[in-house]
Amino acid sequence: MSTKIDFTYLSEPDMIAAGVLDAAQCVIVCEETFSLLGKGDYLMGGANHNSHGMTIVFPKETKFPNMPVAGPDRRFAAMPGYLGGRFDVCGNKWYGSNHANMQKGLPRSILTMMLNDKDTGAPLALMSANLLSAARTGAVPAVGAKHLANPDSTTMAVVGCGPINKACFAAVITQLKSIKSVVCFDLFLEKANEFAAWIKDTYGIDAVGTENTESGFRGADVISVAASRLKPLHFKDEWIKPGATILVSGPVNTDESFLTSARIVYDHTQLHEAYVEDAIASGNKEGYYSGVIGGPLYRLIDAGKLPALADSTGLGDVVNGDKVGRERESDRVIFFACGMAVFDISWGYDVLRNAQSKGIGTRLNLWDAPSQG
């Protein structure tokens, strides 16, 4: 029996050549992943098997001269998981994040993805994961749009005009073919106008930029929120029309009256239960809530103003037909997505298969035989 282990390395250009930017196919794979989540055929980190991941957060001060200190968006995180179904593979997304990277011409976060054999632990692939992560981040709300938005939606708003919302729009538009006009909101009007120009040039859809928050929300049928973690936005209940769908991929705050009257669908309720467990374990639940996307919901659950997470709806339940997402055309629906490594695993797995079929990538050797020393 051979003990030789080789694995595939995929650079960012390799990932592009292997189809990582195929938004429509990524949505299909993420929908399949939601189905597996709904059935329970997955594992993530932590004792509850539902943890988002393990994060290194740096201290504000340190006596060690080389130890990093806290800064905006500065952290390292490992996001391990197992996904069943046809994937049947383990993986881990590893990333470092630092807002100061942009002063060096680098992305805020630099990510890699490792896929491993579920039995031996042998590496199958190491891949560049910035585009992988962005693609699946965009595809997740697109699955939400497919199952939750009114199919005849014609107006869309993009709140936050960065690369994440670009991935979100590219994926959502594959599911909502009736969109005819888009409002692009950003705190910086230049970025909003650039985003609007990209939509016009790429999709031929009428789009306009704005720096007025209300204009970014009022009257839209579908709203994609992926604003900066450094400046979470607040939107008002009165701005959201009947029948609207809000796809939340980043921190946001709103009136309590909206959250208690809207229909809430989570990406995966068990993930949010794990967040609450982590908040309790931290000893500073309120502080923890302030740092996560679902924090405003968890506060209302604690206050008895929203149903417990165990009694709430996850998108996997909707995909599998076990629960209803939108009940009425007039429902205002808000979908909360916080990110799970299983989506990086599923899309990474398919991109790897594409690369192998096309001869893309570099084969690297771990060993011909393990050292016995």
Candidates 117, 83, 31, 55; CA nearest to 318 is 31
CA 206 to chain CA centroid, Å, is 26
| Residues forming a β-bridge with 158 | 184, 224
Same domain as 198, residue 334:
yes
My answer on whether 190 and 54 are in the same domain is: no
Confidence class of residue 184 from pLDDT cuts 50, 70 and 90?
very high
Please tell me whether residues 222 and 333 are part of one structural domain.
yes
Q: What domain count does the chain have?
A: 2
Same domain, 253 and 314: yes
Pairing between β-strand 181-185 and β-strand 206-210 as defined by DSSP bridges: parallel
Cα atoms in the Cβ-side hemisphere of radius 13 Å centred on 80: 9
Q: Determine whether 63 is exposed, middle or buried from the number of CB atoms within 10 Å of its CB (0-12, 13-18, 19+).
A: exposed
Q: Hey, what are 371's tokens?
A: 């050292």
12-51 tens-digit pLDDT: 999 999 999 999 999 999 999 999 999 999 999 999 999 9
Is 372 within the bounds of a domain? no
CATH number of 349's domain: 3.30.1780.10
Query: Domain span at residue 66?
Result: 5-133+342-367
pLDDT digits (tens, 9 = 90+) for 328-371: 999 999 999 998 999 999 999 999 999 999 999 999 999 999 99
DSSP 8-state symbol, 173: T
For the question of whether the overall pTM of this predicted structure is more than 0.85, the answer is: yes
Burial per residue of 195-218, b for 16 or more beta-carbon CB atoms within 10 angstroms, e otherwise: bbebbeeeeeeebebbeebebbbb
User: Are residues 336 and 352 both part of a single domain?
Assistant: no
Is there a single domain that holds both residue 222 and residue 305? yes
Q: Which CATH number covers residue 200?
A: 3.40.50.720
pLDDT tens for 267-301 read 999 999 999 999 999 899 988 898 889 999 999 99
What is the mean pLDDT of the segment spanning 218-225? 96
Torsions phi, psi for 18 (to 5 deg): -90, 0
